[in-house]
Structure 1
Protein backbone atom coordinates (compact mmCIF):
# COMPACT_ATOMS: atom_id res chain seq x y z
CA UNK A 1 0.00 0.00 0.00
CA UNK A 2 2.86 2.40 0.79
CA UNK A 3 4.52 1.57 -2.53
CA UNK A 4 1.31 2.37 -4.41
CA UNK A 5 0.94 5.68 -2.55
CA UNK A 6 4.55 6.65 -3.30
CA UNK A 7 4.01 5.87 -6.98
CA UNK A 8 0.87 8.02 -7.03
CA UNK A 9 2.71 10.92 -5.39
CA UNK A 10 5.67 10.64 -7.76
CA UNK A 11 3.35 10.44 -10.77
CA UNK A 12 1.63 13.64 -9.62
CA UNK A 13 4.68 15.62 -8.51
CA UNK A 14 7.13 14.56 -11.23
CA UNK A 15 5.28 12.79 -14.06
CA UNK A 16 8.20 12.92 -16.49
CA UNK A 17 10.55 11.34 -13.96
CA UNK A 18 7.96 8.70 -13.03
CA UNK A 19 7.37 7.81 -16.68
CA UNK A 20 11.11 7.50 -17.29
CA UNK A 21 11.52 5.13 -14.33
CA UNK A 22 8.51 3.05 -15.37
CA UNK A 23 9.83 2.74 -18.94
CA UNK A 24 13.28 1.67 -17.76
CA UNK A 25 11.71 -1.02 -15.57
CA UNK A 26 9.52 -2.25 -18.44
CA UNK A 27 12.54 -2.45 -20.76
CA UNK A 28 14.45 -4.57 -18.25
CA UNK A 29 11.50 -6.94 -18.00
CA UNK A 30 11.37 -7.25 -21.80
CA UNK A 31 15.06 -8.16 -21.91
CA UNK A 32 14.52 -10.88 -19.29
CA UNK A 33 11.64 -12.39 -21.29
CA UNK A 34 13.73 -12.43 -24.49
CA UNK A 35 16.61 -14.12 -22.67
CA UNK A 36 14.23 -16.75 -21.30
CA UNK A 37 13.18 -17.66 -24.85
CA UNK A 38 16.67 -17.75 -26.35
CA UNK A 39 16.32 -14.66 -28.52
CA UNK A 40 19.87 -13.39 -27.84
CA UNK A 41 21.40 -16.63 -29.18
CA UNK A 42 19.26 -16.50 -32.32
CA UNK A 43 20.11 -12.84 -32.79
CA UNK A 44 23.83 -13.55 -32.43
CA UNK A 45 23.64 -16.18 -35.19
CA UNK A 46 21.80 -13.82 -37.57
CA UNK A 47 24.29 -11.00 -36.92
CA UNK A 48 27.27 -13.32 -37.48
CA UNK A 49 25.84 -14.51 -40.79
CA UNK A 50 24.24 -11.32 -42.12
CA UNK A 51 25.84 -8.33 -40.42
CA UNK A 52 24.23 -5.23 -38.93
CA UNK A 53 22.32 -3.81 -41.90
CA UNK A 54 18.53 -4.03 -42.13
CA UNK A 55 17.97 -6.86 -44.61
CA UNK A 56 14.49 -6.08 -45.95
CA UNK A 57 11.39 -3.99 -45.38
CA UNK A 58 10.92 -0.24 -45.72
CA UNK A 59 14.33 0.63 -44.28
CA UNK A 60 16.48 -1.92 -46.14
CA UNK A 61 20.15 -1.03 -45.94
CA UNK A 62 19.93 1.03 -42.74
CA UNK A 63 22.96 0.43 -40.52
CA UNK A 64 21.74 -0.90 -37.20
CA UNK A 65 23.09 -0.99 -33.68
CA UNK A 66 23.38 -4.00 -31.41
CA UNK A 67 20.70 -2.90 -28.94
CA UNK A 68 17.13 -1.71 -28.94
CA UNK A 69 14.88 0.00 -26.41
CA UNK A 70 11.80 -1.92 -25.36
CA UNK A 71 11.79 -4.54 -28.09
CA UNK A 72 14.00 -7.08 -29.78
CA UNK A 73 16.13 -5.60 -32.52
CA UNK A 74 16.10 -8.88 -34.49
CA UNK A 75 12.75 -8.20 -36.26
CA UNK A 76 14.05 -4.74 -37.17
CA UNK A 77 17.28 -6.20 -38.52
CA UNK A 78 15.54 -8.79 -40.70
CA UNK A 79 12.86 -6.32 -41.82
CA UNK A 80 9.78 -7.92 -40.28
CA UNK A 81 9.26 -5.41 -37.45
CA UNK A 82 5.64 -4.21 -37.42
CA UNK A 83 5.19 -5.64 -40.91
CA UNK A 84 1.50 -4.74 -40.80
CA UNK A 85 2.63 -1.11 -41.23
CA UNK A 86 4.79 -1.70 -44.32
CA UNK A 87 1.97 -0.76 -46.71
CA UNK A 88 1.29 2.44 -44.79
CA UNK A 89 5.00 3.27 -44.79
CA UNK A 90 5.12 2.78 -48.56
CA UNK A 91 2.39 5.42 -48.89
CA UNK A 92 4.11 7.75 -46.42
CA UNK A 93 7.46 7.40 -48.19
CA UNK A 94 5.88 8.42 -51.51
CA UNK A 95 5.09 11.90 -50.14
CA UNK A 96 7.21 14.84 -49.05
CA UNK A 97 7.03 16.32 -45.57
CA UNK A 98 8.71 19.29 -43.91
CA UNK A 99 8.44 17.86 -40.39
CA UNK A 100 7.97 14.38 -38.93
CA UNK A 101 7.31 13.71 -35.24
CA UNK A 102 8.03 10.29 -33.74
CA UNK A 103 6.63 10.05 -30.20
CA UNK A 104 8.03 7.08 -28.31
CA UNK A 105 10.94 6.76 -30.71
CA UNK A 106 12.91 4.18 -28.68
CA UNK A 107 16.28 3.68 -30.40
CA UNK A 108 15.11 5.51 -33.52
CA UNK A 109 14.11 2.79 -35.99
CA UNK A 110 11.35 4.91 -37.54
CA UNK A 111 12.97 8.31 -36.97
CA UNK A 112 16.24 7.34 -38.66
CA UNK A 113 14.57 5.15 -41.28
CA UNK A 114 12.23 7.95 -42.31
CA UNK A 115 15.08 10.47 -42.32
CA UNK A 116 16.94 8.21 -44.75
CA UNK A 117 14.05 7.36 -47.04
CA UNK A 118 11.82 10.45 -47.20
CA UNK A 119 12.37 12.74 -50.15
CA UNK A 120 13.34 16.34 -49.61
CA UNK A 121 14.89 17.38 -46.34
CA UNK A 122 12.33 16.89 -43.60
CA UNK A 123 13.28 17.62 -40.00
CA UNK A 124 12.58 14.55 -37.85
CA UNK A 125 11.85 14.97 -34.13
CA UNK A 126 12.38 11.79 -32.09
CA UNK A 127 10.71 12.00 -28.67
CA UNK A 128 11.41 9.48 -25.91
CA UNK A 129 11.42 9.97 -22.15
CA UNK A 130 13.83 7.09 -21.56
CA UNK A 131 17.44 8.34 -21.36
CA UNK A 132 18.73 4.90 -22.42
CA UNK A 133 16.54 5.02 -25.54
CA UNK A 134 17.82 8.53 -26.31
CA UNK A 135 21.43 7.32 -26.06
CA UNK A 136 20.69 4.41 -28.42
CA UNK A 137 18.94 6.78 -30.82
CA UNK A 138 22.07 8.96 -30.90
CA UNK A 139 24.10 5.87 -31.83
CA UNK A 140 21.68 4.91 -34.62
CA UNK A 141 21.66 8.47 -35.95
CA UNK A 142 25.48 8.49 -36.02
CA UNK A 143 25.66 5.04 -37.64
CA UNK A 144 23.60 6.37 -40.54
CA UNK A 145 24.92 9.93 -40.82
CA UNK A 146 21.56 11.51 -39.99
CA UNK A 147 22.64 14.04 -37.33
CA UNK A 148 21.52 16.93 -39.52
CA UNK A 149 18.03 15.47 -39.98
CA UNK A 150 17.04 13.95 -36.61
CA UNK A 151 16.61 15.89 -33.37
CA UNK A 152 16.19 13.94 -30.12
CA UNK A 153 13.80 15.35 -27.53
CA UNK A 154 12.54 14.00 -24.22
CA UNK A 155 8.98 14.82 -23.21
CA UNK A 156 6.51 15.64 -25.98
CA UNK A 157 4.18 18.36 -24.77
CA UNK A 158 1.76 20.13 -27.10
Structure 2
Protein backbone atom coordinates (compact mmCIF):
# COMPACT_ATOMS: atom_id res chain seq x y z
CA UNK A 1 0.00 0.00 0.00
CA UNK A 2 1.18 3.48 -0.73
CA UNK A 3 2.90 5.03 2.33
CA UNK A 4 1.34 8.40 1.49
CA UNK A 5 -2.16 6.95 1.85
CA UNK A 6 -1.20 5.34 5.15
CA UNK A 7 0.15 8.66 6.44
CA UNK A 8 -3.04 10.44 5.43
CA UNK A 9 -5.20 7.99 7.39
CA UNK A 10 -2.90 8.25 10.42
CA UNK A 11 -3.33 12.05 10.30
CA UNK A 12 -7.10 11.54 10.17
CA UNK A 13 -7.01 9.35 13.29
CA UNK A 14 -4.84 11.90 15.05
CA UNK A 15 -7.13 14.78 14.10
CA UNK A 16 -10.19 12.90 15.26
CA UNK A 17 -8.73 12.01 18.64
CA UNK A 18 -7.36 15.51 19.29
CA UNK A 19 -10.67 17.13 18.30
CA UNK A 20 -12.70 15.05 20.69
CA UNK A 21 -10.28 15.63 23.57
CA UNK A 22 -9.35 19.28 23.04
CA UNK A 23 -12.78 20.85 22.58
CA UNK A 24 -14.30 22.57 25.57
CA UNK A 25 -17.70 23.86 26.58
CA UNK A 26 -19.13 26.26 29.14
CA UNK A 27 -22.30 24.17 29.35
CA UNK A 28 -25.75 24.57 27.93
CA UNK A 29 -26.96 27.67 29.78
CA UNK A 30 -30.47 27.69 28.33
CA UNK A 31 -31.49 24.05 28.74
CA UNK A 32 -31.59 21.18 26.30
CA UNK A 33 -33.30 21.52 22.97
CA UNK A 34 -34.30 18.86 20.49
CA UNK A 35 -32.20 16.35 18.64
CA UNK A 36 -30.90 17.61 15.32
CA UNK A 37 -29.94 15.83 12.12
CA UNK A 38 -26.80 17.12 10.37
CA UNK A 39 -25.17 16.04 7.13
CA UNK A 40 -21.41 15.59 7.14
CA UNK A 41 -19.66 14.37 4.01
CA UNK A 42 -22.97 13.32 2.49
CA UNK A 43 -24.09 11.21 5.48
CA UNK A 44 -26.71 12.04 8.09
CA UNK A 45 -25.90 11.98 11.80
CA UNK A 46 -28.04 12.55 14.87
CA UNK A 47 -26.87 15.31 17.20
CA UNK A 48 -28.50 14.70 20.59
CA UNK A 49 -30.08 17.58 22.48
CA UNK A 50 -27.58 19.54 24.53
CA UNK A 51 -24.58 19.01 22.21
CA UNK A 52 -23.18 22.18 20.69
CA UNK A 53 -20.91 22.40 17.67
CA UNK A 54 -17.42 23.51 18.65
CA UNK A 55 -14.76 25.00 16.45
CA UNK A 56 -11.26 23.65 16.91
CA UNK A 57 -8.55 25.56 15.08
CA UNK A 58 -6.25 22.57 15.42
CA UNK A 59 -8.66 20.12 13.78
CA UNK A 60 -9.44 22.69 11.05
CA UNK A 61 -5.70 22.97 10.31
CA UNK A 62 -5.29 19.18 10.14
CA UNK A 63 -8.28 18.87 7.79
CA UNK A 64 -6.67 21.47 5.51
CA UNK A 65 -3.44 19.47 5.52
CA UNK A 66 -5.33 16.31 4.53
CA UNK A 67 -6.89 18.18 1.60
CA UNK A 68 -3.35 18.80 0.29
CA UNK A 69 -3.01 15.02 -0.11
CA UNK A 70 -6.16 15.02 -2.22
CA UNK A 71 -8.25 13.31 0.43
CA UNK A 72 -11.70 14.84 0.75
CA UNK A 73 -12.28 14.95 4.52
CA UNK A 74 -15.08 16.76 6.31
CA UNK A 75 -15.67 16.83 10.02
CA UNK A 76 -17.36 18.52 12.94
CA UNK A 77 -16.87 18.47 16.70
CA UNK A 78 -19.60 18.65 19.33
CA UNK A 79 -19.50 19.16 23.09
CA UNK A 80 -21.85 18.61 26.01
CA UNK A 81 -20.40 19.36 29.42
CA UNK A 82 -17.05 17.52 29.40
CA UNK A 83 -17.95 15.00 26.66
CA UNK A 84 -16.47 15.70 23.24
CA UNK A 85 -17.56 13.98 20.02
CA UNK A 86 -15.86 14.31 16.62
CA UNK A 87 -17.45 13.09 13.39
CA UNK A 88 -15.20 12.74 10.34
CA UNK A 89 -15.91 11.44 6.84
CA UNK A 90 -13.08 10.71 4.38
CA UNK A 91 -13.77 9.80 0.77
CA UNK A 92 -11.19 7.24 -0.39
CA UNK A 93 -12.69 6.35 -3.78
CA UNK A 94 -9.69 7.76 -5.69
CA UNK A 95 -7.25 5.45 -3.90
CA UNK A 96 -8.50 2.07 -5.16
CA UNK A 97 -8.67 0.64 -1.65
CA UNK A 98 -11.14 -1.95 -0.48
CA UNK A 99 -13.28 -1.38 2.59
CA UNK A 100 -11.27 -4.05 4.44
CA UNK A 101 -7.95 -2.35 3.60
CA UNK A 102 -9.22 0.96 4.99
CA UNK A 103 -10.46 -0.67 8.19
CA UNK A 104 -7.15 -2.55 8.57
CA UNK A 105 -5.37 0.82 8.54
CA UNK A 106 -7.70 2.13 11.24
CA UNK A 107 -7.35 -0.92 13.47
CA UNK A 108 -9.44 -1.78 16.49
CA UNK A 109 -11.79 -4.46 17.72
CA UNK A 110 -14.75 -5.62 15.66
CA UNK A 111 -17.81 -3.92 17.14
CA UNK A 112 -21.42 -3.34 16.18
CA UNK A 113 -23.04 -0.09 17.33
CA UNK A 114 -26.70 0.52 16.45
CA UNK A 115 -26.60 -2.23 13.81
CA UNK A 116 -23.52 -0.72 12.13
CA UNK A 117 -20.48 -3.02 11.90
CA UNK A 118 -17.10 -1.40 12.36
CA UNK A 119 -14.00 -1.22 14.51
CA UNK A 120 -13.63 0.41 17.92
CA UNK A 121 -10.27 1.47 19.27
CA UNK A 122 -8.96 3.62 22.09
CA UNK A 123 -6.02 6.04 22.04
CA UNK A 124 -6.77 9.01 24.32
CA UNK A 125 -10.36 8.82 23.09
CA UNK A 126 -12.60 6.16 21.57
CA UNK A 127 -12.90 5.92 17.81
CA UNK A 128 -15.58 3.93 15.99
CA UNK A 129 -14.67 3.46 12.31
CA UNK A 130 -16.77 2.00 9.54
CA UNK A 131 -16.98 2.32 5.78
CA UNK A 132 -19.90 3.10 3.52
CA UNK A 133 -20.02 4.06 -0.16
CA UNK A 134 -16.19 4.43 -0.46
CA UNK A 135 -16.07 6.67 2.60
CA UNK A 136 -14.41 6.11 5.93
CA UNK A 137 -16.63 7.35 8.74
CA UNK A 138 -15.01 7.91 12.12
CA UNK A 139 -16.87 8.95 15.24
CA UNK A 140 -14.63 9.74 18.20
CA UNK A 141 -15.57 10.50 21.76
CA UNK A 142 -14.18 10.78 25.23
CA UNK A 143 -17.15 8.58 26.27
CA UNK A 144 -17.70 5.44 24.19
CA UNK A 145 -21.26 5.07 25.44
CA UNK A 146 -22.45 8.16 23.52
CA UNK A 147 -21.08 7.14 20.09
CA UNK A 148 -24.29 5.26 19.23
CA UNK A 149 -26.35 8.35 19.97
CA UNK A 150 -24.87 10.02 16.88
CA UNK A 151 -25.47 7.14 14.46
CA UNK A 152 -28.58 7.03 12.29
CA UNK A 153 -28.93 3.38 11.26
**TM-score, L = length of structure 2:** 0.29
Identify which of structures 1 and 2 has the higher relative contact order when contacts are C-alpha pairs closer than 8 Å and 6+ apart.
Answer: 2
Q: Which has the higher strand share?
A: 2
Q: Which has the higher helix share?
A: 1
**TM-score, L = length of structure 1:** 0.28
